[in-house]
Amino acid sequence: MTEITHHAPDALLAAYAAGSLPQPFAIVVAAHISLCNDCRAACAAHEAAGGAVLETVGEEAVSDALRGRVLGLLDAPSVPEPQFERVGIFPGPVVEAMRGRPPRWTPLGMGIRQCILASGRQGSARLLSIPPGRAVPDHSHNGLELTLVLQGAFSDETGCFGVGDLELADQSLEHTPVADDGAECICLAATDAPLRFSSLIPSLLQPIFRI
Partner 1 sequence: MTPTPTKMTPATAWMLAVRDRRDRAAFAALFDEYAPKLKGFAMRGGSSATEAEEIVQEVMLTVWRKAAQFDPERAPVSAWIYHIARNRQIDVFRKERRPLPEDPGLPSTVDLDGGAVLAVEQEANALKEALARLNPDQREMIERAYLGELSHQEISSQTGLPLGTIKSRIRLGLERLRHELRELR
* DSSP-derived secondary structure letter, 134: P
- Residues 147, 178, 91, CA angle at the centre, nearest 5°? 35
Which amino acid does the sequence have at 124?
S
Among 39, 94, 153, 190, binds Zn ion (CB under 5 A): 39
Q: What is the CB-side half-sphere exposure of residue 141 using CA atoms within 13 A? A: 21
Q: Indicate which of Zn ion, partner 1, none lies near residue 7 (CB less than 5 to 8 Å, by partner kind).
A: Zn ion
Residue ranges binding partner 1 (CB under 8 A): 9-12, 14-15, 17-21, 23, 25-27, 29-31, 33-34, 37-38, 40-63, 66-67, 69-71, 73-74, 78, 81, 83-86, 91-93, 96-97, 144
Between 12 and 36, CB nearer to Zn ion = 36
Listed in sequence order, the DSSP H helices in 8-148 are 10-18, 23-35, 37-56, 64-72, 92-97
How many other C-beta atoms lie within 10 A of the C-beta of residue 175? 19
Between 15 and 130, CB nearer to partner 1 = 15
29 binds Zn ion (CB under 5 A): no
Piece of 6-14, 66-74, 87-95, 152-160 that binds Zn ion (CB under 5 A): 6-14
By the criterion CB under 5 A, which residues form the site for Zn ion? 7, 36, 38-39
